[in-house]
A and B are shown apart, each in its own frame.
Chain A
Amino acid sequence: MPTFIIRRLIHLVPVLVGVSLAVFLLLKLTPGDPATAILGVQASPQEVARIRRSLGLDRPWWVQYGIWLSNVVRGDLGTSYQSKRPVSTLILQRLPATVELAILSLLIAVSIGVPAGIISATRRYTALDYAFTSFALFGISMPGFWFGILLILIFSLYLRWLPASGYAPLSAGLGPHLKHLILPSIALGLFNTGALMRFTRSSMLEALSQDYVRTARAKGLAERIVILRHVLKNALIPTLTVLGLQIGYLLGGAVIIEQVFAWPGIGWLALTAINQRDYPVVMGVVLMVSFVFVFSNLLVDIAYTWVNPRIRFDQEGK
Chain B
Amino acid sequence: MRTPGSFWRIGLALVLVSTLALVASCAPQAAPGAAPAAAPAEEKATEAVTEAEEKAPTYGGTLTVALHGEIDKLDPHQSVTIVGFQVQQNIVESLVTANVTLDGVDPELATDWTISDDGLTYTFKLRQGVKFHNGKEFKAEDVIYSFNRIMDPDFPAADRSDLEMVESVEAPDDYTVVFKLKYPFAAFLTNLESLWILPKDAGVDFNQQLIGTGPFKFVEWVSGDHITLERFDDYWEEGKPYLDKVVFRPIPESATKLVELKTGGLNFIGNVPYKDVAELESDPNFKVYRVLGVVRDHLGFNVTKPPFDNKLVRQAMGYLIDREAIAQSVMEGYAKPAQIAIPESHWAFNPAIKDAYTFDPEKARQLLTEAGYPDGFKATIKVSPTYPLEIKMAELIAEAAKEVGVDFEIQQLEWSTWIQQVVTEGDFEAEIVLISGGIDPDDFFYQWHHSGEIFNIWRFSTPELDALLEKGRKLRDKEERKKVYYEIQEYLIDQAPMVHIVYRESIMASTANVNGFVMTGREDMTFKTVWLDQGE
Contact = CB atoms under 8 A, between A and B. Distances in A.
B259 A262 contact: no
A277 to B, nearest CB: 6
Interface stretch (B29-37, B351-359, B413-421): B413-421
Nearest to A89: B223
Contacts of A156: 259-260, 263
B263 A262 contact: no
Contact of B416 (A37, A262, A263, A271): A37
Nearest to A263: B224
Contacts of B16: 272, 275
A256 B24 CA distance: 13
B251 A262 contact: yes
B454 interface: yes
A83 B221 CA distance: 11
B421 to A, nearest CB: 7
A94 interface: yes
Interface residues of B, number: 58
B253 interface: yes
A41 B20 contact: no
A82 B5 CA distance: 16
A260 to B, nearest CB: 5
Contacts of A37: 12, 80, 416
B417 A166 contact: no
B18 A47 contact: no
A292 to B, nearest CB: 18
A42 B224 contact: no
Interface stretch (B156-164, B291-299, B324-332): B156-164
A36 B422 CA distance: 14
B8 interface: yes
B518 interface: no
Contacts, number: 168
B198 to A, nearest CB: 15
B417 A165 contact: no
Contact of A265 (B24, B224, B420): B224
A152 interface: yes
B158 A264 contact: no
Given A264-B223, A269-B224, A149 B256 contact: yes
Contacts of B200: none
B8 A40 contact: yes
Interface in B76-115: 78, 80
A14 interface: no
B415 A275 contact: yes
Contacts of A47: 153, 156, 160
A40 B4 contact: yes
A149 B255 contact: yes
Contact of B20 (A82, A93, A94, A145): A145
A51 B153 CA distance: 11
B224 A268 contact: yes
A83 B252 contact: no
A31 B253 contact: no
B221 to A, nearest CB: 8
A146 to B, nearest CB: 8
A39 B158 contact: yes
A125 to B, nearest CB: 38
Most buried by B among A37, A41, A50: A41
Contacts of B78: 38
A276 B4 contact: no
B440 interface: no
A271 B455 contact: no
A259 B420 CA distance: 26
Interface in A271-296: 271-272, 275-277
B394 interface: no
A157 interface: yes
A124 B83 CA distance: 55
Contacts of B12: 37, 275-276
B4 A262 contact: no
Interface string B243-261: 0000001111101100110
Most buried by B among A47, A146, A261: A47
A17 B223 CA distance: 27
B464 interface: no
Contacts of B75: 84
Contacts of B156: 38-39, 47, 50-51
A207 B338 CA distance: 70
A160 interface: yes
A238 interface: no
B223 A90 contact: yes
A262 B269 CA distance: 14
A260 B12 CA distance: 19
B419 to A, nearest CB: 6
A262 B250 contact: yes
A36 B225 contact: no
Most buried by B among A44, A265, A272: A272
Interface string B145-168: 000000001101010110000000
Given A41-B4, A84-B73, A272-B69, A31 B263 contact: no
Most buried by B among A40, A259, A260: A40
Nearest to B74: A83
Interface in B178-220: 205, 207-208
B262 interface: yes
A271 B70 CA distance: 11
Interface in B1-56: 4-5, 7-9, 11-12, 15-16, 18, 20-21, 24
14 contacts: A30-B417, A31-B420, A40-B8, A40-B80, A40-B158, A50-B154, A152-B255, A156-B260, A256-B20, A259-B252, A259-B253, A260-B21, A268-B252, A275-B415
A-B complex: 8 closest residue pairs judged by Cβ atoms: A32-B416, A264-B224, A42-B4, A40-B80, A264-B225, A31-B417, A262-B251, A164-B259
Given A40-B8, A44-B454, A261-B253, 7 more contacts: A32-B414, A36-B424, A40-B5, A41-B4, A41-B454, A85-B208, A146-B24
